[in-house]
Amino acid sequence: MLILVTCLLLFITALVLMVLRITQPNARYAWMIATVGALLAFASVFLWLTQMPFEFSFPAWEPQTLFTTPVLFRADGVSWALAISVTALPLAILLTSVTRPVFTNSLSWAGILTLCGMGILAVTADNPLTLLLMWAFLDLTELFSQLSSVNGEQKSERVVISFATHMLGLSLLLWAYIASFSNGSALVFQSMPSSAGIFLVIAAGLRLGVLPLHLPYSSDTFLRRGLGTALRLIGAISTLGILGRIQITTSGFTLALTALTAAAAIYGGWMWLRAPDELNGRPYWIIGIASLAVLSTLSGNPIGAIAWGSAMILVGSVLFLSSVQNLRLNRFLPIGAWSLSSLPFSLTASAWMGRLGLIVPFALAAQALMTAGFIRHALRTNGDESLDDQPGWTKAVYPSGIILLLVLPLLMGFIGWDGALQIGNWIQALIASLLTLGLVWGARRFRIFSPIRAHWVTTAGAGVNSLYQWLWSIYRGLARISQAITDTLEGEGGIMWTLLFLVLFILLIIRGTQ
């Protein structure tokens, strides 16, 4: 029931903001209402610790012969870490929004709160049917948001392609559901056969752009820090939640997927390290961290995937929401690197407790690239306006949002979920930390680590997607040929062509009977 309480706090707050938007567009207390609602939802997740594990379900659908399990949600030591990360995001967005030029935007805040409420339902979903519904809602939300924010046929086409890959991921999730149903398994993730688990990993990889490697959305689409950050990260975290509930058996196909995922992790880390700024590099942050999460699951360590998922949303948001300069606050931003280090008692301490085998050097290199990129962007001065120029009350509110995102990962290293109080593989963590220090040192001294052109990330993204653009051009060419044939047959000469084909068909039949 507590899951429903948390979600209702977010949904009701969003509804109140919508009503205020209609009845009192200039209401000065809309931000206060949104912030209080987000704070209560965040606090309510800590109450889950008093009753975990627990479940919440809706009545079973009819016919029960087809829908053998109801829409089911579960709070446990896996989903709690993702749920607390999701609820921290809207609170941090609202606290840091006080410094942005367009401050009063109740419609955007309502959208953020609704997205985060759906994100909680997605990360606590305990069977394929429930997750299928949550993914479909989030995919449609992202589709409409993207189409409304891009201009031009080519960019709209990329949005549709991204949506198509998401639908393919949904299809694989549905296939896993059918495979479990045909084997007579109980349709919850914990009891699904390992043969179905590989479909779930591929489904997650498709949605995240990891398997195969591609950008799941246009990297040059303009979205604001608040709503854009929520849309990107909630969509990703809702996908990563499934990786913490499944087990994978080692096979030749699994090893091939592991190799491809490691390559995606290296690529995402390299692009993130060299990105000109954190917002342009955000797609690669998601690909890099998501690849590390998929590697954890493929190595038989689903808890590590949850650790990387929480780091994606909490540590990444530290950069994506930092919109003003403050010297004292900026000194604390590199603390987020501790949560990425996988050192003992850090958020990601459980990251490398699986069977990585020969892929270990590549995984550690990817981790070092992601951490070094975070430090580089945290130390970068981008010329944004200073916090000293803001009103007095914002000087206290804005830092509290950033501090929340820095302190919560430190706290999660010790309490709340199955990955807390872990020593982990400290030798690999130490190696990754040394590589990180070397990359940070080299990034300040060698030009190869710094992009020359302002739109370097967009160009590189186009290069990685060249294969997919080529395949899409072949599809468009075949579609034009098909359309030309259709126009010919449906035009004025269509009857003549039909009669000609009919005569040829009759002649072939006659010739064959002789």
In a domain? residue 505: yes
Say if residue 435 is in the same domain as residue 504.
no
Say if residue 481 is in the same domain as residue 455.
no
The residue-averaged pLDDT of 299-325 equals 90
Say if residue 369 is in the same domain as residue 499.
no
pTM: 0.85
Q: How far is CA 324 from the centre of its chain?
A: 25
Nearby residues of 85 by Cβ (< 8 Å), 6 or more positions away? 237, 309, 310, 313, 314, 408
Say if residue 354 is in the same domain as residue 486.
no
Mean pLDDT, the chain, whole residue set: 81
What is the CB-side half-sphere exposure of residue 411 using CA atoms within 13 A? 13
In a domain? residue 470: no
For residue 388, pLDDT beyond 80: no
Residue 123 banded pLDDT, cuts 50, 70, 90: very high
Percent of the chain scored above 90 by pLDDT? Answer: 35
Are 310 and 81 in contact, with CB atoms under 8 Å apart?
yes
Say if residue 357 is in the same domain as residue 489.
no
* Residue of 117 and 106 predicted with greater confidence: 117
Number of domains in the chain: 2
The residue-averaged pLDDT of 300-329 equals 89
Residue 370 banded pLDDT, cuts 50, 70, 90: very high
For residue 203, pLDDT beyond 90: no
For residue 455, pLDDT beyond 50: no
Say if residue 216 is in the same domain as residue 364.
yes
What pLDDT, on a 0 to 100 scale, did the predictor assign at position 362? Answer: 94
Nearby residues of 170 by Cβ (< 8 Å), 6 or more positions away? 132, 135, 136, 139, 203
Q: How far is CA 13 from the centre of its chain?
A: 24
In a domain? residue 242: yes
**Structural domain range at position 311:** 2-464
Quickly count: other Cβ atoms within 10 Å of residue 139's Cβ.
20
Say if residue 394 is in the same domain as residue 445.
yes
Are 416 and 345 in contact, with CB atoms under 8 Å apart?
no
Say if residue 11 is in the same domain as residue 153.
yes
For residue 193, pLDDT beyond 80: no
Say if residue 360 is in the same domain as residue 484.
no
Residue 156 banded pLDDT, cuts 50, 70, 90: confident
In a domain? residue 469: no
In a domain? residue 317: yes
Q: Considering only 2-11, 32-41, 84-93, 315-324, which range has the smallest mean pLDDT?
A: 315-324
For residue 311, pLDDT beyond 90: yes
Say if residue 120 is in the same domain as residue 171.
yes
In a domain? residue 32: yes
Distance, in Å, from the CA atom of 7 to the CA atom of 75, rounded to the nearest integer, reads: 13
The residue-averaged pLDDT of 425-451 equals 85
For residue 217, pLDDT beyond 70: no
Nearby residues of 309 by Cβ (< 8 Å), 6 or more positions away? 81, 82, 85, 236, 237, 240, 241, 243, 244, 289, 293
Query: What secondary structure letter does DSSP report for 358?
Result: G
Are 222 and 146 in contact, with CB atoms under 8 Å apart?
no
In a domain? residue 48: yes
Say if residue 100 is in the same domain as residue 219.
yes
Which of helix, strand or coil describes residue 444? coil
Nearby residues of 467 by Cβ (< 8 Å), 6 or more positions away? none
Say if residue 325 is in the same domain as residue 179.
yes
Quickly count: other Cβ atoms within 10 Å of residue 260's Cβ.
17
What pLDDT, on a 0 to 100 scale, did the predictor assign at position 242? Answer: 87
The residue-averaged pLDDT of 221-245 equals 81
**Is the Cα dihedral 341, 362, 265, 133 positive or negative?**
negative
Residue with tokens 């948390």: 6
Distance, in Å, from the CA atom of 450 to the CA atom of 401, rounded to the nearest integer, reads: 29
For residue 247, pLDDT beyond 70: yes
Residue 69 banded pLDDT, cuts 50, 70, 90: confident
In a domain? residue 471: no
What pLDDT, on a 0 to 100 scale, did the predictor assign at position 467? Answer: 53
